[in-house]
Amino acid sequence: MYRSITRNIEVAVEPFYLAERSDPQDGRYVWGYRVTIANHSDDPIQLLARYWRITDASGRVEEVRGPGVVGEQPELNPGDSFQYTSGCPLRTPSGFMVGTYTVRSGSGDFFEIDIPAFSLDLPDAGRSLN
């Protein structure tokens, strides 16, 4: 599991390979990742947007921006957490992802929270990022 904490907001990511959705002979490798966002601050927050930087083993970079996560813009009061699962296809058998969430605090401040960099590696391969 990969973790980061920004302004007492914790983001934990657990990636996993989806062999049943992958087709290595066709250059398609698919990973899922489970994200847990926990609000350890004293202020409520709302997750408004996401930004991902996805890099495959060939160095090809894809950037993804959009509102919320999995169609939601969750509100987290102090002590609350939110979990979701999503996925990412790559053309190579490994890569990594990193990003940020844009949140708004209960007092109206907008700020970015870090999503930790995490590796996407086949189950029998060693991690390329730690």
pTM of the prediction?
0.91
What is the Rg, in whole angstroms, of the alpha carbon atoms belonging to the chain?
15
> Residue 57 pairs with which residues in a beta bridge?
none
* Domain coordinates in residue numbering, the chain: 2-119
CATH number of 2-119: 2.60.40.1470
Three-state secondary structure call for residue 8:
coil
The tens place of each residue's pLDDT in the chain, 130 residues long, gives 999 999 999 999 999 999 999 999 999 999 999 999 999 999 999 999 999 999 999 999 999 999 999 999 999 999 999 999 999 999 999 999 999 999 999 999 999 999 999 999 988 765 555 4
